[in-house]
Amino acid sequence: MLLIALLLVLSSPKLLAEGQSICSNANILPMQSSTYMYNLKSLAEALFANVTTSNSYSAYDTAGTGSDMVYGAVLCRGDTAPGTDCAHQLKEVLEAAMNTSPNTSCNPQKDITLFDDVYLVQLRFSDQDFISDSSNSQECIVRANLNPPPMGQVSEQFDSLVSRLMMKLTEAAVKNTGRYETGQGWLTEESQTVYGLVQCIADMPPETCRACLKSTITKREQMFKSGQMGGAILSVRCSLWYQTEVQFFAGTPLLSLNMPARRAASKFWIWVTLGSFSVVVSTSWLLVHIWIKTERKRERARFELQLLSMAIQNVINLWRIEEGNSGFSLYDFSQIKEATGNFSSENKLGQGGFGPVYKGLLPGGLEVAVKRLAACSVQGLLEFKNEIQLIAKLQHKNLVKLLGCCIQGDQEKMLVYEYMQNKSLDIFIFDINKGVQLNWSMRLHIIDGVAQGLLYLHKHSRLCVVHRDLKASNILLDSDMTPKISDFGMARIFSSNMTESNTTRIVGTHGYISPEYAFDGVCSIKSDVFSFGVLILEIISGKRTTGFYPYDGKLYNLTSYAWKLWKAGEWRQLVCCRIGENREVIERCIHVALLCVQESAEDRPAMDLVVSMLNSENVSLPKPKQPAYFFVRVSETEASACNINVSITLAR
């Protein structure tokens, strides 16, 4: 995982200017052999263990004596998971900082502060006693400049609302054993919601927490511009965040200030009252109202795009620092424009969910595929950021290679991949004419290659990755028909001690999503195993998972159809072309596929066992249970296989 946050060591409150050196944060390595660094590492391990055993969000302590004594404190934000998960995230951030190559022009630092806006954690280690210091002297001030702040009286009312909200959150937080509180306030003059969050170290005495937060609130009033629409002051001892319109924390705000009971209804009756004067006046006001609301939505969308663009730029900057020799390149817009013939229609390979894909030819003869992101796609930006963070870290012969990216201002964002001469697998297996080009040797080679790629993602890469959208159109084929898994925009990273996670956002494609993920939001490596089983059945049968197929006077979806044929010993009817001498290996593939699509995730084999079962006749295969989605339609006529290939992104 990339360390996306700026790693800051600040001796006084200030805003880190764009382009400023961050060398003072990356000089842990020059002190690796020192007693101070040994004490720091020992203290860090003790703090992480404390967080785990106490199932908390924070810990602080000291290690060593004399000039080598280290004071340390660690903190996860209150809307993250406490205990083991928190400790893992803290460890990931510290290890990422320690593994960052130092800038030799910088001097070693003993006062180290790390803030990470992906894991939402903070760490500080120092040779000075900041733990008993109630002044909160070491903090990072982060300002989120949105639209120009309101002027005059509205600006004063906004500042007053933020201060009152923060004070109310402070009083609630000191009464909360977790020293954490979230809330919201309503600014009537601008019809805006202001979200806020405050937090202290969990074991901090109430009065000390109150004093720390009040001091931080005063600094916000002094340091931030009047009417500043969003910002944060971060410190390991105590911190505050606030933001208009965008709820930046997880969960429901626990505290409300001036929130209208029926906001939409009150606006409606205002317009009804005005409309009673005359039809003309009512229509005019309605049009003005619609225009204002539309403009506000556009402003919010622009703001979200701006935030994502800033996050992407941070990712790119860190790639320059952390992965300078990784082969990941930053291309100029002029290079890509020339390579694609000014994005000509002749070079267009297809249309993805968030923009077109073009073929390009770089100087030197390297063929590439360029995914050009639609300018106003928030979801596309999220996937763009995810691919840069993730796939450039992964290297395997069965994963498509991300060569680099291109960013031109706020409008142009492109991903540059190696070009796959034979495009995607679905073009072959679902086409009668092209399907004959795939003999059984090729089909089995493709199945094994996809399995090897998934095994690498799940077990052998430095990150445990669940793809979440494995399907035939996301398997690309090079000139030798070697399969490569592509499109990691929806992929999810798992920590080493996690086997599954719950999510409220379901992504994937109809027919490939596992039942526990679709219905309960439980995502795990077994979700990819299910998709892989469906893919095997499609490769062997040449039939789409979304179609319905006749058997015994009824119609079944593909997994049910394969199951019925298998139970009846008639599995050869599933095979799309002549079996020849491949009977045993094809039967084995169907058997493995049915094991992968079983209803219960616990019954499905992991990918290491799947690879063994596919490649070794000595591995015994258990009997598969009835697959998930056992759909039956009573009909005497065959229904045509619907070409449904729609990616799903659902909020549950």
Residues 272, 237 within the same domain: no
Give per-residue pLDDT as tens, 24-42.
Answer: 333 344 455 689 999 999 9
Give per-residue pLDDT as tens, 83-108.
Answer: 999 999 999 889 888 876 554 444 55
Residues 528, 573 within the same domain: yes
**Cβ-count burial 364-393 (b if 16+ within 10 Å, e if not):** eeeebbbbbbeeebeebbbbbbbbbbbbbb
Separation of CA 438 from chain center:
36
Is position 140 within any domain?
no
> pLDDT value at position 450?
98
| SS3 label, residue 56 | coil
Residue with tokens 């992991």: 606
Is position 6 within any domain?
no
Q: Which of these ranges, 46-55, 104-113, 335-344, 510-519, has the smallest mean pLDDT?
A: 104-113
Residue 136 neighbours by CB distance under 10 Å: 22
Of 389, 417, 445, which one is at a domain's C-terminal end?
Answer: 417
pLDDT above 70: residue 241: yes
Residues 639, 572 within the same domain: yes
Please compute the mean of the pLDDT values over residues 228-243 and round it to a whole number: 87
Residue 93 neighbours by CB distance under 10 Å: 24
> pLDDT value at position 150?
55
Residue 376 near residue 298 (C-beta atoms within 8 A): no
Of 225, 241, 259, which one is at a domain's C-terminal end?
Answer: 259
Residue with tokens 């109202």: 289
Is position 137 within any domain?
no
Of 74, 98, 132, which one is at a domain's C-terminal end?
Answer: 132
Q: How far apart are CA 130 and CA 74, in angstroms?
A: 13
Q: Which amino acid is at 62?
A: T
Query: Helices 583-596 and 525-541 sit at what angle, rounded to 10 degrees?
Result: 140
Give per-residue pLDDT as tens, 472-524.
Answer: 999 999 999 999 999 887 878 775 544 555 554 567 788 899 999 888 888 89
Residues 476, 603 within the same domain: yes
Residues 53, 89 within the same domain: yes
Residues 227, 297 within the same domain: no
The strand ranges marked E within 486-576 are: 492-494, 500-502, 505-509, 522-524, 548-551, 554-557
Mean pLDDT score across all residues of the chain = 80
Q: Which amino acid is at 316?
A: I
The whole-model pTM stands at 0.52
Q: Residues 371, 372, 377, 382: what is their CA dihedral angle, to the nearest 10 degrees?
A: 40
Q: Which amino acid is at 536?
A: I
CA-wise closest residue to 423 among 371, 472, 478, 370? 478
Give per-residue pLDDT as tens, 284-300.
Answer: 778 887 888 877 777 77
Residues 221, 158 within the same domain: yes
Reported as a pLDDT band with limits 50, 70 and 90, residue 379 is low
> pLDDT value at position 611?
97
CATH label of the domain that carries residue 596: 1.10.510.10
Residue 167 neighbours by CB distance under 10 Å: 16
> Which helix (DSSP H) or strand (DSSP E) does residue 88 occupy?
helix 84-98
> pLDDT value at position 588?
96
Catalytic residue ranges? 469
Is position 301 within any domain?
yes
Is position 179 within any domain?
yes
Give per-residue pLDDT as tens, 414-437.
Answer: 889 899 999 999 999 999 899 999
Residues 388, 489 within the same domain: no
Token pair in block for residue 625: 């249970």
Q: How far apart are CA 412 and CA 349, in angstroms?
A: 18
Token pair in block for residue 462: 């430095």
Please compute the mean of the pLDDT values over residues 73-84 and round it to a whole number: 91
Q: How far apart are CA 134 and CA 272, in angstroms?
A: 55
Reported as a pLDDT band with limits 50, 70 and 90, residue 652 is very low
Domain region containing 339: 263-417
| SS3 label, residue 563 | helix
> pLDDT value at position 1?
33
Give per-residue pLDDT as tens, 543-577.
Answer: 999 899 999 889 999 999 999 999 999 999 999 98
The percentage of the chain sitting over the pLDDT mark of 90, rounded to a whole number, equals 41
CATH label of the domain that carries residue 30: 3.30.430.20
Token pair in block for residue 436: 């004959």
pLDDT above 70: residue 72: yes
Is position 502 within any domain?
yes
Token pair in block for residue 194: 């202001």
Higher per-residue pLDDT: 152 or 529: 529
Residue 595 neighbours by CB distance under 10 Å: 22
Token pair in block for residue 444: 């089995």
Pairing relation of β-strands 402-408 and 329-330? parallel
Q: Which of 213-222, 386-395, 526-535 has the highest mean pLDDT?
A: 526-535
| C-alpha triplet 443, 447, 453: angle, nearest 5° | 140
| SS3 label, residue 226 | coil
Q: How far apart are CA 641 and CA 633, in angstroms?
A: 13
Residues 165, 240 within the same domain: yes
CA-wise closest residue to 58 among 239, 214, 219, 217? 239
Is position 142 within any domain?
no
The strand ranges marked E within 427-489 are: 464-466, 475-477, 483-485
pLDDT above 50: residue 4: no
Beta bridge partners of 124: 73, 113
Residues 477, 367 within the same domain: no
Residues 455, 412 within the same domain: no
CATH label of the domain that carries residue 154: 3.30.430
Q: Which of 380-389, 559-568, 625-634 has the highest mean pLDDT?
A: 559-568
Q: How far apart are CA 633 and CA 631, in angstroms?
A: 7
Residues 498, 612 within the same domain: yes
Q: Residues 77, 82, 83, 85: what is their CA dihedral angle, to the nearest 10 degrees?
A: -80
Of the CA atoms within 13 Å of residue 595, those in its CB half-sphere come to 19
Query: How many structural domains does the chain have?
Result: 4
Is position 14 within any domain?
no
